[in-house]
Amino acid sequence: MSDQRQEIEGSTIVEIIQINKELSVLFKNLVEYSEKLRKVSSRNAKIDIIISFLQKLARKEAEIGVNFISGNMRQGKLNIAWKGLHELLNTAPSRSKKSPQLTEVDAYLDQTKSARGQKKIKELAPLVARLTDSERKYLVSIIVADVQQGAGEGLVKMAIARFFGLRDDDIEFAAMRKPDIGKLFLYLLEKGKTGIKDIGIQIFSPVKPMLAEIAQSLDDVFEEYTDFAVEHKLDGVRVQVHKQGDEVKIFSRHLRDITLHFPELVDIARKLPMEECILDGEAVGIGKDGRPLPFQVLAQRTTRKKDIAIMKDKVPVQPQFFDILYSNGNDLTSKQYRERWRLLNRMISTKDYVASRTLPKNKRSAETFLEKSVARGNEGVMVKLLDSPYRPGRRGKFWLKIKIAHTVDCVILAAEWGHGRRRGWLSNLHLGVLDETRTKFLMVGKTFKGLTDAMLTWLTNNLPRYKVHEDSWTVYVKPEVVVEIAFNEVQKSPKYESGVALRFARVKRIREDKQPGEINTIIDLEKLAKIGGRDEL
């Protein structure tokens, strides 16, 4: 151990930070720490490891290091395809094996972020050439946000709290306002732990947008809640608009500055009557017929940096604001949604710029509103509890999204024996769709929902006829039986070879009238998933 390191072991945190001004953490050290994290299972042991990593960070690498140890990077997504990453893993090693400093890795990632297409690989290759196999794998896992160390942002926040002698709640609260925990850590290093009191919403500093949980149906919502509003769920681009006098900035869902892309929104924001505000909403593309444009068309507004003026005419957008987080010096996030909505409406006189909403009298009126929303080209509705605060970055039950259910025809690939009341019945179904060549079936999910007693009887009597093999839980069958499946969403899933999974899948009918060759394909599902679209932002 070097003298400097020995000195650190016996020092206080403040002294360590002083000493660390001179030191730099190497990428290989980070990988060693991640390895240590992977090897222990207790939360406290993991937190201790993270704290000792934080202690090693010099101020200049504090933000970078905190992001890395949480399995993230400051740059967000790099959008490199799997093929490119594979190429990187196989980069020929350079002669110099000097492990790069964290700051060097970060600089490479910055350059990669701004490069396009194949050039991204070229930017990263010299860095990767200096890494060992395990370091390469670790870098790739950060790039694809799949670091397997059993510790993510949650534990790092706890470690930061203990590092500064703060409560977990203090850090949680501060992280809602300063969602980049790397920046939060640096801020606390600079201001000291008492700086936590001054963290509030600030104009031109984006806050993570509040998110919604998925709800299966309005029936479920009415069963569980009473005081809520229902808004159109618009299919656009999330925008957080910050205004101070004539100055306006617009941030995306991932806190990217997208001001330049939406000059018309800047104009609209400038004309708003308040001096200072932060509004949350959706930028929606408006077609010639006045109806919303599909998201894929609108997405061109945020991906094409050139031709902004041309794109503005080709794909005009309109804001649909649905929340206000700050106005004239006041942080409104802890106020109730009913009050924020009132303020929003008082401030925005053009009603076309505010999302449509209703306070439904009963289920029927909510259903009619949902049908109208979908008929207008929207995705569904958002249900918002009237007494809820705005919780930046949180996905919780204060906001619920309901998308209209889709249906697909799937084939049954296997069925698991049921438990409890369903013991003795073939119940949990493995579902498949056809691949793009229509020659192979790909699994896209499992469900035991929606099965009536009559269906369970039919399946238990008929499926064993197609049995290929079986284990103690599952009967695997030839793909012969077609079922109609309702679902709310298609999501990316590394679990299945197909790469996607159906969310809230439920069986609607057994389609004895359909052949397996007639069922839906993976392409149909990918269209619904719009995979990649929103991730760009």
**How many residues of this chain interact with ligand AMP, rule: CB under 6 A?**
14
Q: How far is the CB of 321 from ligand AMP (least distance, A)?
A: 9
Q: How far is the CB of 213 from ligand AMP (least distance, A)?
A: 9
Contacts with ligand AMP, 385-414, as mask; x by CB under 6 A = ----------------x-------------
Please indicate whether residue 508 is annotated as part of the active site: no
Show the tokens assigned to 75. 């740059």
Angle, helices 133-143 vs 119-129, to 10°: value is: 140
- 299 scored as a contact of ligand AMP (CB under 6 A): no
Q: Which of 212, 311, 332, 500 binds ligand AMP (CB under 6 A)?
A: 212
| From candidates 56, 120, 130, 238, binder to ligand AMP by CB under 6 A | 238
- Active-site pick, 233, 243, 249, 401: 233
> Which residue minimizes CB distance to ligand AMP?
238
Q: Is 507 left (phi over 0), alpha (psi -120 to 50) or beta?
A: beta
Bridge partners, 433 (sequence order): 442
Instruction: Rank residues 54 and 355 by Cβ distance to ligand AMP and give the closer one.
Output: 355
Out of 255, 382, 415, 443, name the contact with ligand AMP by CB under 6 A. 382
CA distance 109 to 115: 10
Q: What is the sign, positive or negative, of the torsion defined by CA atoms of 93, 96, 102, 105?
A: negative
Segment contacting ligand AMP by CB under 6 A, of 17-25, 231-239, 325-333, 427-435 = 231-239
Q: Identify which of residues 249 and 253 has a Cβ nearer to ligand AMP in the complex.
A: 253
Q: Please state the closest distance from residue 74 (CB atom) to ligand AMP, in A.
A: 22
Q: What minimum distance in Å lies between the beta carbon of 233 and ligand AMP?
A: 4
51-59, 230-238, 270-278, 523-531 -> range binding ligand AMP (CB under 6 A): 230-238
Cβ–Cβ under 8 Å, residues 181 and 175: yes
**3-state DSSP call for residue 211?**
strand
Instruction: Supply the minimum distance, in Å, between the C-beta of residue 179 and ligand AMP.
Output: 14
In this complex, which beta carbon is closest to ligand AMP, that of residue 180 or of residue 282? Answer: 282
Contacts of 32 (CB under 8 A, 6+ apart): none
Residue closer to ligand AMP (CB basis): 68 or 321? 321
Read off the DSSP letter of residue 391.
Answer: -
Q: In whole angstroms, what is the distance from residue 252 CA to residue 258 CA?
A: 6
3-state secondary structure of 36: helix
- The span of 65-73, 227-235, 368-376, 496-504 binding ligand AMP (CB under 6 A) equals 227-235
* 234 versus 268: smaller Cβ distance to ligand AMP: 234
Q: Is residue 322 a contact residue for ligand AMP (CB under 6 A)?
A: yes
Q: Does 355 engage in binding with ligand AMP (CB under 6 A)?
A: yes
Contact between 282 and ligand AMP per CB under 6 A = yes
- Quick one: tokens of 210? 């509040």
Nearest residue to 365 (alpha-carbon basis) of 225, 216, 229, 214: 229
3-state secondary structure of 374: helix
Which one of 208, 233, 242, 430 is in contact with ligand AMP (CB under 6 A)? 233
128 vs 382 by CB, closer to ligand AMP: 382
Please check whether residue 426 is in contact with residue 415, taking contact to mean a CB–CB distance below 8 angstroms: yes
Q: Which one, of 530, 447, 460, lies nearest residue 487 by Cα?
A: 447
| Residue range at the interface with ligand AMP (CB under 6 A); choices 5-13, 150-158, 228-236, 310-318 | 228-236
d(CA 268, CA 241): 10
Which of 63, 135, 231, 409: binder of ligand AMP (CB under 6 A)? Answer: 231
- For residue 381, the minimal CB distance to ligand AMP (Å) is 8
Q: Residue 423, Cβ neighbours under 10 Å: how many?
A: 9
Under rule CB under 6 A, residue 301 binds ligand AMP: no
Give least dist CB 533 to ligand AMP, A.
10
With DSSP H G I counted as helix, E B as strand and the rest as coil, what are the percentages for the chain, rounded to 5? Answer: 40, 25, 35
From 201, 196, 200, select the one nearest 185 (Cα to Cα).
196
Contact 89, 136 (CB under 8 A): yes
* Closest CB 281 distance from ligand AMP, rounded Å: 8
Stretch that binds ligand AMP, among 6-14, 229-237, 259-267, 345-353 (CB under 6 A): 229-237
Rounded Cα gap, residues 314 and 312, in angstroms:
6
Report, in Å, the least distance between residue 73 CB and ligand AMP. 22
CB count in 10 Å sphere of residue 129: 16
Residue placing its CB nearer to ligand AMP in the complex, 227 or 307:
227
What secondary structure letter does DSSP report for 195? G
Q: Which of residues 243-272 bind ligand AMP (CB under 6 A)?
A: 253
Given the complex with ligand AMP, which of 322 and 448 has the nearer CB atom?
Answer: 322
Closest approach, Cβ 259 to ligand AMP, in A, equals 17
Task: Round to whole Å and give the CA distance between 435 and 227.
Answer: 45
What's the one-letter identity of residue 248?
V
The interface region with ligand AMP, picked from 35-43, 225-233, 345-353, 385-393 by CB under 6 A, is 225-233
Instruction: Kindly write down the DSSP assignment for every residue of 458-514, as one continuous string.
Output: HHHHHGGGGEEEE-SSEEEE-S--EEEEEESEEEE-TTSTTSEEEES-EEEEE-TT-
Task: For residue 234, state whether it binds ligand AMP (rule: CB under 6 A).
Answer: yes
By CB neighbour count within 10 A (0-12 exposed, 13-18 middle, 19+ buried), where does 208 fall?
A: buried
Q: What are 17's two structure tokens?
A: 């930070």
Decide the pairing of beta strands 506-510 and 237-244.
unpaired
Binding site for ligand AMP (CB under 6 A): 209, 211-212, 231-234, 238, 253, 282, 322, 355, 382, 401
Annotated active-site positions, please?
233
